Amino acid sequence: MRVTVDGMVVSLADDGASLLDAVRAAGVELPTLCHDDRMSPAGSCRICLVRSGGTVVAACVTPAVDGAVVEVATEDVATLRRESLELIVSALPPSALDGAEDGTTELARVCDSLGIPPETARGRGGRGRDDSHPYVHLDRDLCIACGRCVRMCAEVQGTFALTLVGRGSDTVVAPGTGGSWAESDCVSCGGCVDTCPTGALTEPGLPIGGAKPIATRTRTTCGYCGVGCSLEVLTRDGEVAAVLPDRDGPLNRGHACVKGRFAHGFLHSPERLTRPLLRRGGRLEPVSWAEALDHVARGLRDAIAAGGPDAVAAISSARATNEENYLIQKFMRVAIGTNNVDNCSRLCHAPSAAGLTAAFGLSGGTDSFDDVEKADCLLVVGANPVEAHPVVGARLLQRVLRGSRLIVADPRSVGLARHADVHLRPRPGTNVALFHGLAHVLLTEDLVDAEFLRHRADGLAELTALLADYPPERVAAVTGVPVGELVAAARLYGRAEQPAIVYGLGVTEHLHGTDGVRALANLAILRGAVGTDHGFGVNPLRGQNNVQGASDMGALPDLLPGYGKVIDPAARVRAETVWGVPVPDRPGLRIPEMFAAAREGTLRALWVIGEDVCATDPDATRVAEALEACPLVVCNELFLSETAQRADVVLPVASWLEKDGTFVNFDRRFQRVRPALDPPGQARTDFAAVHALAAVLGVDLGCRTSAAALAECGRLAPIFGGLSHERLDREGAIPWPCQDPGHPGEAKLYRKRFATPDGLAHLSACPYLPPGETPDDDYPLILVTGRRWAHYNSGSMTRHTGNIRLDPVDRLDLHPADAARHGLHDGDPVTVESRHGRAALTARVSDETAPGQVFCAFHFPSSGVNTLTSDRADTVTSCPEYKVTAVRLRPLA
Ligand SMILES: Nc1nc2c(c(=O)[nH]1)N[C@H]1C(S)=C(S)[C@@H](COP(=O)(O)OP(=O)(O)OC[C@H]3O[C@@H](n4cnc5c(=O)[nH]c(N)nc54)[C@H](O)[C@@H]3O)O[C@H]1N2
Ligand SMILES: Nc1nc2c(c(=O)[nH]1)N[C@H]1C(S)=C(S)[C@@H](COP(=O)(O)OP(=O)(O)OC[C@H]3O[C@@H](n4cnc5c(=O)[nH]c(N)nc54)[C@H](O)[C@@H]3O)O[C@H]1N2
Ligand code: SF4
Ligand code: FES
Ligand SMILES: [Mo]
């Protein structure tokens, strides 16, 4: 299509381009105010008026047609634009056009470009402010009712929390629920603040007008969840003034969530650790680094003298960088001589690593999220991305609002479930039966890809035989999912042209989590929807910012960097060649085995780096016993966590905003992490702490810088061979596998063959087996544990930020019927008891959970949620059964 703009001819694609697009393509200047490219146009401000076909129209809402002739610069339309703007500005109070360097608003800039002088603003104001919310403040007098915030909240974030109220020039944004902003449905993504052109919506760190200039802007990657949002950190006087989402961020595209964007107050919390601590006479006392490290070195030597290298173990941190994880596992293998190193992948997606490797060959998700998002049918299983991966949740919802079908499989009615075509609500712990039921329907209704199954997959005969036992009626009896819904879901997934599977901990954190992953993978294989152009595979929403990377770097007892097995002589030789020492050939202890060994007395030194095992590992009472029994417990921490409180030595360390390196996000992308601040007091990075301890032990680990650590890792792990800090600085995010520096990385895997030994995808014929705990007369309810949007895991960071005002207590969700039976009301204190422990929570009556099921998070260690959970764990990987615990309730007397 060709359009003429002020005499210039431009060609445009025929895909719904507007006249504004044409004007921009011609490079002609045209101001806008109510427009934001990320959202549908509103056409309400009339600043973008142009003449086309003889009439004056708003360019942003007028479709471009072939042959259109557009006048922009003509004097009379320019005057109309000025008058529209004058009308808007004249209603605003004089302060509206103030502006300091960083506070300059889009409105001030547009006024400047159209020559509207500040005096034009002469409204009376007096409509008041809403400062009830910790992060989003509203000055009603500055609102021009352009509706950008409302559209941002609906179309980009998907929360629909805002609306416009009032009439004419009194129209103003307000929470849709009425009441104050703090009481609204707002989830504090900050999108409304970003898009507001006038400064009516602001955040505390970035006041409009008179603010001190920002000193530094640092581009980095969020250190909370595995989405891996790209962020720009603005600092002033050694403090974070604001964190803004990066418009060019490959995952977030200018969006973020309450954690990455606002939860940085922990940095300067008075409770932040700034000095090493050493236990003396039962109390932790501040000491120098030298003294702390000497004590640790002595303890390690004693442990090795008494029990050999395998008497020492380390839990590495999925919160730390790749380079730190690489160095930690190298320390254990080279300086100590043991494979006893593990990371919190054990607690969440170890079953994904095992299941996906068995099915397809590699341990990561099969596809790039960008492609997943093109799907015409999304199957979201046991994941609550709206709360746990909010930017992914928002992008999935955008896809659904644009027409993709959605199947949600989750016992709870949360987040995306409200927008689902079919919401399957299996009883917790019955996934394998559910997935087999879906597979049964795919087979019997011939919704499978026979060609793919013949040439690229293996195991169909065994699976077909097994599935005979899983007709929908039997599956309905096991899972509680009605036959009609099961069949409807199978048909949606089976008939879609581009189906995608996205899943979370509701699949993995079970007694048979690995079977769950494999049974789920069966569906994609049956459909030929993995490694082909007919779908977007099977994609785990990995949890921690760098849990994928911690495992990639070999912080695992059985695997070396890049997933070479410690039992494979060839893989050991590759590492030994680079490290210059022999690598032990026996797999080390997994996290639960470490605790068991400590209780038995065979583990004599444990280094816990960035995991609050006493709060977040299951059956926490027994974990505390293990630490108690272990002669030396060292803990690298930001705060005096439950674990740090029980340690013999606590080393104060830097957080993600204070260090350099890389993280790998949930879809296998390496991204750079850069320090925006110095660590407080004597805190050091985990990287520096590991080097310092190695030095005291007389071992030189090499790789002095984090760039050198990644380079060294690439030399022994071929799948990372093409990665370097320098390249990431130049190119941004790069997915693994990436074998050489000229290769862009493989965002989508298995196009030609699967990475299994025979090159085929492997179907799994694992039977359904019941969960480890089932309700009985003593413990009649099933407790499911998981996440809430405002807090992060142990809560050590988010509880030390303004987020505590958004979510101040640990609540137990229970169905109104169960609440009535127990005489409980919303807000009542309630004691939850299991066979293993007891927790104190606050009741939240809600129909999000089914009758007989209750739900809580674990963000407040003081409530004791993980004393409830059992030590039952996935039979293949030891991932805890966090999702199923039999409990009973007692109202607090
Ligand atoms: N706000 C916030 N975000 C986070 C975190 C946080 O603590 N807070 N933690 C991060 C981490 S470490 C992780 S691993 C991710 C986790 O992210 P998710 O996996 O999305 O988190 P969960 O809430 O633990 O569990 C997901 C869902 O599984 C469902 N479920 C439970 N049992 C079953 C079952 O038997 N079958 C099915 N189909 N579903 C079931 C639960 O109802 C729950 O809604 O989130 C990350 N992001
Ligand atoms: N009941 C129940 N329990 C669960 C789960 C569940 O669903 N239900 N989910 C499990 C899952 S999936 C996970 S991943 C775990 C998470 O459990 P944890 O890993 O224990 O949780 P986090 O709070 O993320 O981080 C642990 C600690 O690391 C510190 N930290 C942060 N950054 C750094 C750093 O750069 N270096 C160092 N050294 N320390 C740092 C924090 O202060 C915090 O105390 O919880 C598990 N526990
Ligand atoms: S979605 Fe995840 S990565 Fe993005 S800002 Fe939130 S916590 Fe950070
Ligand atoms: S930008 Fe087009 S009408 Fe507001
Ligand atoms: Mo996790």
pLDDT per position as a tens digit, 478-530 = 999 999 999 999 999 999 999 999 999 999 999 999 999 999 999 999 999 99
- Residue with CA at minimum distance from ligand 4 atom 3: 43
Residues 6 or more apart whose CB falls under 8 angstroms from that of 222 comprise: 228, 229, 230, 231, 256, 259, 260, 545, 656
Closest residue by Cα to atom 2, ligand 3, is 225
Q: Is 411 in the pocket of ligand 1 (CB under 6 A)?
A: yes
**227 touches ligand 3 (CB under 6 Å):** yes
- In short, whether 598's Cβ falls inside 6 Å of ligand 4 is no
144: number of Cβ within 10 Å = 24
Q: How many whole angstroms from 424 Cα to the centroid of ligand 1?
A: 16
Dihedral of the CA atoms 785, 790, 792, 793 (nearest 10)?
-20
The one-character DSSP state at 427 is: P
Tell which atom from ligand 3 comes closest to the C-alpha of 391: 1
Residue with tokens 């992953």: 517
Of 187, 345, 505, 815, the one to substitute when testing ligand 1's pocket (max ligand atoms within 8 A of C-beta) is 505
Distance CA 127, CA 125 (A): 6
Query: How many whole angstroms from 877 Cα to the centroid of ligand 3?
Result: 27
Assess whether the C-beta atom of 384 lies below 6 angstroms from ligand 1.
yes
- Type of residue at 64: A
CATH architecture, domain defined by 376-525: 3-Layer(aba) Sandwich (3.40)
Rounded to the nearest angstrom, the distance between the alpha carbon of 843 and the centre of ligand 1 is 20
Closest ligand 3 atom, CA of 392? 1
Atom of ligand 1 nearest to the CA of 785: 24
Q: How far is the CA of 541 from the centre of ligand 5 (A)?
A: 9
Coil, strand or helix at 607: strand
CATH number of 781-891: 2.40.40.20
CA of 84 to the centre of ligand 4 (A): 10
Count of alpha carbons within 13 angstroms of residue 157, beta-carbon side:
27
Q: Which of 611, 773, 799 to mutate to test the pocket of ligand 2 (most atoms within 8 A of CB)?
A: 611
* Residue spans of the chain under pLDDT 50: 100-102, 209-210
Of ligand 4's listed atoms, the one at least distance from the Cα of 44 is: 3
* Residue 686 Cβ < 6 Å to ligand 2: yes
* Dist. CA 315 → ligand 5 center (Å): 14
Atom of ligand 4 at shortest range from CA of 46: 3
Torsion of CA 462, 464, 468, 471, to 10 degrees: 130
Task: Give me the pLDDT at residue 170, please.
Answer: 86
Alpha-carbon gap, residue 169 to 163, rounded angstroms: 15
Q: What is the dihedral of CA 346, 349, 351, 356, to 10 degrees?
A: -140
Cα(408)–Cα(489) distance, integer angstroms: 9
What torsion do the CA atoms of 259, 260, 265, 266 make, to the nearest 10 degrees?
80
Q: Is 390 in the pocket of ligand 3 (CB under 6 A)?
A: yes
In 170-319, which ranges are continuous DSSP H helix? 191-195, 258-262, 289-307
Atom of ligand 4 nearest to the CA of 41: 2
Q: In the structure encoding, which two tokens stand for residue 334, read together?
A: 């080279």
Kindly state if the Cβ of 655 falls inside 6 Å of ligand 2.
Answer: yes
The secondary structure of 795-863 as a DSSP string is -TTGGGSTHHHH--S-EEEE-HHHHHHHT--TT-EEEEEESS-EEEEEEEE-TTSPTTEEEEE---GGG
Predicted pLDDT at 99: 56
CATH topology of domain 277-348+546-703: Rossmann fold (3.40.50)
Ligand whose nearest atom lies closest to the CA of 257: 3
How far apart (Å, rounded) are the C-alpha atoms in residues 555 and 63? 55
For the CA of 34, the closest atom of ligand 4 is: 4
Q: Which of 484, 499, 492 is nearest to 442 (CA)?
A: 492
Q: How many angstroms separate the alpha carbon of residue 391 from the centre of ligand 4? A: 27
* Ligand 1 closest atom vs CA 258: 1
C-alpha of residue 59 to centroid of ligand 4, in Å: 7
**Substitution candidate for ligand 4 out of 21, 24, 35, 70 with most atoms within 8 A of CB:** 35
- Cα 558 to Cα 357: distance, rounded to the nearest angstrom: 14
- The CATH code for residues 125-268 is 3.30.70.20
Instruction: Using the structure block, give the residue that is written with the tokens 């104001």.
Output: 125
CB of 148 sitting under 6 A from ligand 4: no
Q: Return the pLDDT at 159.
A: 94
Residue 390 CA, closest ligand 3 atom number: 1
Q: How far is CA 336 from CA 61, 254, 273, 300, in A?
A: 67, 44, 27, 9
Residue 29 burial by Cβ neighbours in a 10 Å radius (0-12, 13-18, 19+): exposed
Query: Is the CB of 543 inside a 6 Å radius of any atom of ligand 1?
Result: yes
CB 166 within 8 A of CB 190: no
Q: What was the pLDDT predicted at 211?
A: 52
Token pair 């002033």 is found at 236
223 token code pair: 């250190």
Residue 659 near residue 624, CB atoms below 8 Å = no
- Domain residue extents for the chain: 2-90, 125-268, 277-348+546-703, 376-525, 781-891
Structure tokens at 644: 């740090």
CA 481–ligand 1 middle distance (angstroms):
20
The identity of residue 61, as a single letter, is V
Residue of 33, 39, 84 to test ligand 4 pocket, by largest number of atoms within 8 Å of CB: 33
In contact, 516 and 510? CB cutoff 8 Å: yes
Which of these, 329, 316, 223, 366, lies nearest to 713 by C-alpha position? Answer: 329
H/E element, 315 = strand 312-316
* 253 torsion bin: left (phi>0), alpha (psi -120 to 50), beta (else): left
Neighbours of 596 (CB within 10 A): 16
pLDDT in tens, 580-633: 999 999 999 999 999 999 999 999 999 999 999 999 999 999 999 999 999 999
Q: Is 421 helix (H, G, I), strand (E, B) or coil?
A: coil
Q: pTM of the full predicted structure?
A: 0.95
Question: Considering only CA atoms, which residue is closest to atom 22 of ligand 1?
Answer: 786
Residue 165's Cβ-side half-sphere holds a number of Cα atoms within 13 Å equal to 12
Atom number of ligand 4 nearest to Cα 20: 2
* Residue 231 phi, psi dihedral angles, 5° rounding: -130, 155
Does the beta carbon of 784 sit less than 6 angstroms from any atom of ligand 1?
yes
CB 151 within 8 A of CB 159: no
pLDDT, residue 678, reads 96
Dist CA 349 CA 757 (whole Å):
23
Tell me the ligand closest to 80's alpha carbon: 4
- Does ligand 4 come within 6 angstroms of the Cβ of 46? yes
DSSP code for 544: B
Residues in contact with 539: Cβ distance below 8 Å, sequence separation at least 6, in sequence order: 365, 366, 367, 369, 372, 500, 501, 502, 503, 666, 667
Architecture label for domain 2-90: Roll (3.10)
**CB-ligand 3 contact for 304 (6 Å cutoff):** no
d(CA 65, ligand 4 centre) in Å: 19
Distance 70 CA to ligand 4 centre (A): 16
